[in-house]
Structure 1
């Protein structure tokens, strides 16, 4: 037997070993759900082509969806702590499936607007519950690796969904809505059957005797971390909101953008599982600050490129920063949160990410109106602010997460 053969079990153990079966059920459900997540990326095309809406009307409908998603993080975080992680996740997935079917069959604009708001509430309600489940199931030293594996599953599933969704959109949008509904149900039912309820009971150490949102809002370190998260999210979401607009305005096609952004998914799928455990063993605040700085540098570099290859290089750079940070924010939030408030803390983190997603196109498009250089250099500078914030709160994070 060769030394290479002997080394393989240790290598695999360091990447995926030692995690409980319930975690792998959650991981599998996440992957299945993301493979079927076809409607959201193509909803703008669906509203304008299949339902004949103007761009302005479709934009309004998508803004309503974003508002529902923003609210859902806080509500779902409270539900996960109050009623349980498992029932919140399963309930959100069942509600998503029902709303998907209804939305696919609706033709009335007021009904579509109402259903899009409900879909925004339901579709991401699983996130705080899923994050709390990982924190409940996994020991602190393994959490960065576990959150990184969830991140990897989401990106792998999303890559498949983008390819399949584009094909199914041509075959008929009904297929997209149907498959999205089925995979949501599979996720919810898999968690219901294979994942135990982990919410602390009243009277247990860490149980819900007191606290709630009052305790969360008094945690100045968590509030500061959430503000920094919002700032960095405004930067990262530019890749999916303003970058395609900037490229088409510069004379590139949507196919060019698709090729460029595909680099992001390919790199994450190939590289992130190999590095997640190594970064997870380092100081979380330092690793996160480094990753955020690299992301900012990647976007700033976009101001100086003028070819598809040049754009691809910038995507490689900020994707490497994203890989560095994968799994680290979830581990930080889990370490900051008391066990009985993990859902609420995860919900506040999700609220910050969703808030950044809503602000990103507003800021990005206005800066693009000035000039592409103004957009990308400003965006890069914004992430320097986030990096400085992380370094500033680093000592406090180390004390709290020790």
Structure 2
């Protein structure tokens, strides 16, 4: 008698198998969108070089963008629950495409400020809807793996965009605006045509942001996330200033931060399956501690190689957190409030994006050691906070 194959999944299937088609559409659209993310990283250069703005004016314009981004997450979270994930995500991407073109052709300061305010509102409006969509589609035990794959797609696409964007900017900044607009539009159309609406049917349960804010566990998690975001985003706000402030060339920052992208693209797929089986809160706490340690080590280096080594340390911490943050939000959020919960979570990241350069530069003015040891301690504090709420998160997951 012939034996029937057991059907044991292959190594590749165990890492990427088992997800519905709608998830892979979201994955592909996210990757395409990140491939075209060229305007944001170069916006300061564009405003000062192409539009002739002073540093002060450019800073004001970027602050307007940041304020728009803060409100964006709250509004988009409400829309994801009220209008649906599909409509919010697709609508946000189409609005982003239109605003990118409007900004590219704006020449006066009022027009640029208005376009940047709208762009801040719409460019990341897809995030709460995307996170809620994954929570709707994927069962709880597989969410860390799903969120980890999206994290990898974002980083791979962004790494390519940074290289291509720097090269294309030499031929004219309008290339950046058009490519960003087209990839945003492609993402929106893909979702609209190929992703079904997953929002749970409305029930008698009332709810809104007031209900989210009554969830003390979620509020504690958002505060911890804000602290971690402040630490993590120093890498993209004060780190280039710290490196050049020590007399190193600007290329030193480029080389050091490139280590981050390379390690994520190479290492994360290798360990993602193993990490997905671990407790999300424990992995988040470990990752926050390692990121904090890597940042603190920057107080003791002064060469390009030294900075690259510290980037490698905190990148490993970032890999530990990959996919875990979204999985915790999905655990805490009732199905009918997933958009709002993710909106509040996204608000913490936007707030961290505003506070990181604002406070970080003042700490750097006191001294590099003050900056890096302070953010290192804050990273450790965030890890301790995550460990403190971990039992309550596990109880919520079990319930």
The normalised TM-score by structure 1 is 0.96
Match of 2:277 in 1: 281
Structure 1 runs (4+) deviating above 3 angstroms are 6-9
Per-residue CA deviation, residues 256-284 of structure 1 (Å, 9 max, x unaligned), is 11011000000000011121221121112
- Which of 215, 218, 225 is the equivalent residue of 2:221? 225
Match of 1:49 in 2: 49
Are the structure 2 counterparts of residues 49 and 198 from structure 1 closer, same or farther at C-alpha, using a change threshold of 3 Å?
A: same
Match of 1:75 in 2: 75
Match of 2:93 in 1: 93
User: Counterparts of 2:361 and 2:239 in 1: how far apart (Å)?
Assistant: 10
Match of 1:103 in 2: 103
Match of 2:199 in 1: 199
Is residue 181 of structure 2 the alignment partner of residue 185 of structure 1?
no
Q: CA deviation at 1:215?
A: 1.3
Task: Give unmatched runs, 5+ long, in structure 1.
Answer: 1-5
User: Counterparts of 1:213 and 1:368 in 2: how far apart (Å)?
Assistant: 36
User: Counterparts of 1:215 and 1:114 in 2: how far apart (Å)?
Assistant: 33
- Which of 355, 374, 380 is the equivalent residue of 2:376? 380
Secondary structure at the counterpart of residue 158 of structure 1: helix
* 1:46-195 alignment runs, 5 A limit: 46-195=46-195
Per-residue CA deviation, residues 37-90 of structure 1 (Å, 9 max, x unaligned), is 100000000000000000010011001001101110000000000000000001
Match of 2:365 in 1: 369
User: Counterparts of 1:221 and 1:42 in 2: how far apart (Å)?
Assistant: 37
Secondary structure at the counterpart of residue 171 of structure 1: coil
Secondary structure at the counterpart of residue 65 of structure 1: helix
- Which of 244, 255, 258 is the equivalent residue of 1:259? 255
Secondary structure at the counterpart of residue 206 of structure 2: coil
User: Counterparts of 1:59 and 1:253 in 2: how far apart (Å)?
Assistant: 23
Q: CA deviation at 1:218?
A: 0.6
Q: CA deviation at 1:285?
A: 1.2
Per-residue CA deviation, residues 160-193 of structure 1 (Å, 9 max, x unaligned), is 1000100111000111100100000000000001
Whether the 8 Å contact between 2:331 and 2:393 is mirrored in structure 1 is no
- Which of 345, 353, 358 is the equivalent residue of 1:357? 353
Secondary structure at the counterpart of residue 106 of structure 1: coil
Match of 2:3 in 1: none
Q: CA deviation at 1:209?
A: 2.9
Per-residue CA deviation, residues 273-322 of structure 1 (Å, 9 max, x unaligned), is 12122112111211110110000000000000111111011000000000
Is residue 305 of structure 2 the alignment partner of residue 309 of structure 1?
yes
Match of 1:346 in 2: 342
User: Counterparts of 2:321 and 2:14 in 1: how far apart (Å)?
Assistant: 18
Is residue 208 of structure 2 the alignment partner of residue 212 of structure 1?
yes
Secondary structure at the counterpart of residue 202 of structure 2: coil
Q: CA deviation at 1:9?
A: 5.2
User: Counterparts of 2:199 and 2:318 in 1: how far apart (Å)?
Assistant: 30
Per-residue CA deviation, residues 319-377 of structure 1 (Å, 9 max, x unaligned), is 00000010000000001100010000000000001111110011111111111111101
Number of equivalences: 393
Per-residue CA deviation, residues 212-266 of structure 1 (Å, 9 max, x unaligned), is 1121111000000000000000000000000000001101111111011000000
Whether the 8 Å contact between 2:238 and 2:360 is mirrored in structure 1 is yes
Match of 1:3 in 2: none
Task: Give unmatched runs, 5+ long, in structure 2.
Answer: 1-5
User: Counterparts of 1:159 and 1:8 in 2: how far apart (Å)?
Assistant: 35
User: Counterparts of 2:8 and 2:186 in 1: how far apart (Å)?
Assistant: 33
Match of 1:268 in 2: 264
Whether the 8 Å contact between 2:202 and 2:336 is mirrored in structure 1 is no
